[in-house]
A and B are shown apart, each in its own frame.
Chain A
Amino acid sequence: MSNTDSITIAPQSVRLFFQSFFKTLIYFIFLVLLLAGAYKAFPLVVDALFLIIIAAILTAVFNPLVDRLESSGLRRLYGTLLMFGGIFGMVALGVIKGIPTLLNEVSRIKDIIQENSATESLNSMMGDINSRIAEYIPGFQLDLELISSLSAQFFSQLGSILAGALDTLATIIFILIITMFFLVDGKRMTKQLIGMVPNRYFEMSLNITYKTKQQLTNFLRGQLLAALGVGIQSFIGLSLLNWIFDTNISGVLLISTIAGMANMIPFVGPFMGMVPAIIVSLFNNLGDPIAASHFYYILHIVGMFLIVQMIDNNIISPIVVSGSMEMHPLTVILLILVGSQIGVLGMFLAVPAWGISKVVIQEVYQGLKGHHLI
């Protein structure tokens, strides 16, 4: 390639990069302003809309399964009931088995943090970690109080999320009922809604609705499959670490679930999954000289999660996730910042919610362009 070629290509690619970035930024600001304005003006309507949107997302996730059951000859209503029966069964099993274990684990670690007797072990552990890191990075110093307060904050947040989830059980049931109606009668509802569109825009609206639904289903299914993949791999990896190195990491199922769910957030997610595992390992191995000599298995855990990420990024995600989640890192950071205003749940939901909005915007834009309306 000649010099002139490289000179002409570089500014063009830079321009394209900034064009796509600014376009995304403008969409983003517009959406945030729209949502904020709507929330200020009609908080109740927005709350109801929020429930309907969540139900619609759940419908998109479960619809292929109900379609499959219907295609096997089962009536749609019975298929939906069968699927919900299965889901409720699994959730009930998870709640009965998981919640007490989780609450015990959280209160145990909280006790360890608050106990005075543990402070000495914590101090010695931090001192050990500091001295080891200082071998590589001179002058490095981790503050025990900071770590303790961060850990306490994390676990208190976890507790508050759980408490909140239990408090809003009625809301969850309400969402599930709406989802059930959408699954059984959604097609007729959509048909009636689209029927109101004037003839001129009818074909276009129908196509946009169908394609958006398809994209949304693919996107959500991909995200959930990738999350499930990461969750299963993390579970296997952490169990192997416990088995081979005796890392004493408890609550493997919960940590794997967090890792799987956090994986939906690009860039930041994988670290979010890693942090609880490291914290549990640190607190479970307090005062253990073997664990101290292995650097509290931090490197093992980090290594394991890196392998999981490599498998996910190179094998699972390319197969199951569509390209719609490709985002600029700055967009992700902005989204997480906005989401953090609502809380940890907001941070979790901000990026997938943006991914969904992006798919909808793209499909509407393509549809309008195809029909020469823009």
Chain B
Amino acid sequence: MKEKANISYPLFDSFKDKLKPKRSQAQMALSQVNVFSRLSWQEIKIVENAVHIRNYAPGEPVFKQGDPGSGMYVIIEGCVGIFLDIPQQAPKQLSKLGDGDFFGEIALLDESPRTAAATAIENSTIIGFYRPDLMDILKTKPALGGKILLALSEVLAVRLRSTNGELVKVSRKLEAVLESGANE
């Protein structure tokens, strides 16, 4: 088979580059989060206009345990640790999140206090998407707001299903332990 010649067309390429849509870092980060993954680029741009981009220094808290929850965060770049405050002990690190990771999405629906603290481990740029921003989108762009809410419900449904699975496993184990105890 004859190989295709690699011919370049500088004029055409320069037009192609110009026509290629330019995506910001925030847009790219948002498109990777499952809450926004089904949105069109135009819709992501609307979300980008609503969100807040914040910079955190190492050791700076994003939120503290017990604070009223008000929204979710997406890490554009950097590293954030999720810590559990235990009385009279050093905070226990539950997880370490990096570029593209997100956390706190349940707080978009519920104002109950944060169950853990989030602290920047290194210099981090983070997108904050808060309940007021979601409410505003729901008011002015109801179709887009509906899509975000549906995606959020799907995230919750997946978590609920996995929690149920875990619960079944644990209850089976418990039953087995109780049975073996009774036999003994």
Is the interface on chain B under 10, 10 to 19, 20 to 34, or 35 or more residues? 20 to 34
CB atoms of B52 and A199 under 8 A apart: no
List residues of chain B with CB within 8 A of the CB of A207: 68, 70, 130-132
Inter-subunit contact A199/B66 (CB<8 Å): no
Known contacts A71-B142, A210-B135; decide if A199 and B54 are in contact (CB<8 Å). Answer: yes
Give the Cβ gap from A369 to chain B, nearest Cβ, in Å: 10
Residues A203 and B139 in contact, CB atoms below 8 Å apart: no
> What string of 1s and 0s marks CB contacts (under 8 Å) between B79-112 and chain A?
0000000000000000000000000000000000
Q: Take A71-B141, A191-B52, A195-B52 as given contacts and tell me if A203 and B70 are in contact as well, using a CB distance cutoff of 8 Å.
A: yes
Give the residue among A70, A199, A207, A371 with the most B Cβ atoms within 10 A.
A199
| Contact mask for chain A residues 175-196; partner B; CB cutoff 8 A; 1 contact, 0 none | 0000000000001100100110
B132 touches A206 (CB 8 A): yes
Contact between chains at A371 and B67 (CB < 8 Å): yes
Does A71 contact B139, Cβ atoms closer than 8 Å? yes
Q: Which of A43-79 contact B (CB under 8 A)?
A: 67, 70-71, 76
The verdict on B128 contacting chain A, using a C-beta distance below 8 Å, is yes
Contact with A along B108-146 (1 / 0, CB 8 A): 000000000000000000001011100110011110000
B70 touches A206 (CB 8 A): yes
Instruction: Give the docked Cα–Cα distance between A76 and B62 (Å).
Output: 33
Main secondary structure of the interface of B (DSSP, over half): mixed
CA separation between A370 and B139, bound complex, in Å? 26
| In the bound complex, CA of A67 to CA of B138 (Å) | 10
Task: Decide yes or no whether A40 CB sits under 8 A from chain B.
Answer: no
A203 touches B71 (CB 8 A): yes
**A372 located at the interface, meaning its Cβ lies under 8 Å from any Cβ of chain B in the complex:** yes
Least CB distance from B121 to A in Å reads 15
Nearest to B130 among chain A residues (CB) is A206
Specify which of B54, B136, B140 is in contact with A202 (CB 8 Å cutoff): B54
Give the A-B pair count, Cβ closer than 8 A: 48
A76-97 contact mask (Cβ, 8 Å, vs B): 1 or 0: 1000000000000000000000
**A200 on interface, CB distance cutoff 8 Å:** yes
Q: Is the CB of B132 within 8 A of A210?
A: yes
A202 to B141, CA, bound (A): 25
**How far in angstroms is the closest Cβ of chain B from A4?**
40
User: 8 Å CB contacts to A: which residues of B57-75?
Assistant: 60-63, 66-68, 70-71
Q: How far is the CA of A206 from the CA of B140 in the complex (A)?
A: 19
Known contacts A67-B140, A71-B142, A191-B52; A203/B60 CB under 8 A: no
**A contacts with B: majority SS:** helix
B56 CB–A CB distance under 8 Å: yes
- Bound Cα distance from A371 to B70, whole angstroms: 11
Does B135 lie within 8 Å of A370, measured CB to CB? no
Contact of B139 among A67, A191, A206 (CB under 8 A): A67
Chain A residues with CB under 8 A of B70: 203, 206-207
Q: A256 to B54, alpha carbons, bound, how many Å?
A: 52
Q: Give 1 or 0 for each of A202-221: 1 = CB within 8 Å of chain B CB.
A: 11001101100000000000
In the bound complex, residues from chain B placing their C-beta under 8 Å from that of A209 are: 132
Q: Are A203 and B54 neighbours in the complex by a CB distance under 8 Å?
A: no
Q: Which residues of A contact B52 (CB under 8 A)?
A: 191, 194-195, 202, 206
Given A71-B140, A71-B141, A202-B128, check contact A371 B68 (CB 8 Å). yes
A187 to B132, CA, bound (A): 11
Q: B residues within 8 A CB of A70?
A: 140-141
CA distance A191 to B61 in the complex (A): 21
Q: Which B residue's beta carbon lies closest to that of A67?
A: B139
Smallest Cβ distance from B138 to chain A, in angstroms?
9
- Rounded to whole Å, the gap between the CB of B161 and the closest CB of chain A is 30
Closest chain A residue to B132, Cβ basis: A210
Asked if residues A187 and B139 are in contact (CB atoms below 8 Å), the reply is no
Contact B136 A187 (CB under 8 A): yes
- Shortest B171–chain A CB gap in Å is 37
CA distance in complex: A291, B28 (Å): 79
Q: Closest chain B residue to A64 by CB distance?
A: B139
Residues of A with C-beta under 8 A to B67? 203, 370-372
- CB pair B139–A199 under 8 Å, yes or no, is no
Least distance between B144 CB and chain A CB atoms (Å): 10
Measured CB to CB, the nearest residue on chain B to A72 is B142
- Chain A residues with CB under 8 A of B62: 199
Query: A66's closest neighbor in chain B, by CB?
Result: B140
**21 A-B contact pairs sorted by A residue (CB < 8 Å):** A67-B139, A67-B140, A70-B140, A70-B141, A76-B140, A187-B136, A191-B52, A199-B61, A199-B62, A200-B61, A202-B52, A202-B54, A202-B128, A203-B67, A203-B71, A206-B52, A206-B70, A206-B130, A207-B68, A207-B70, A209-B132
Q: Which B residues lie at the A interface, using CB under 8 A?
A: 49, 52, 54, 56, 60-63, 66-68, 70-71, 128, 130-132, 135-136, 139-142
Other 4 A-B pairs with CB < 8 A, given A187-B136, A210-B132, A370-B68? A202-B52, A202-B54, A203-B63, A207-B131
Which A residues fall within an 8 A CB radius of B? 67, 70-71, 76, 187-188, 191, 194-195, 199-200, 202-203, 206-207, 209-210, 370-372
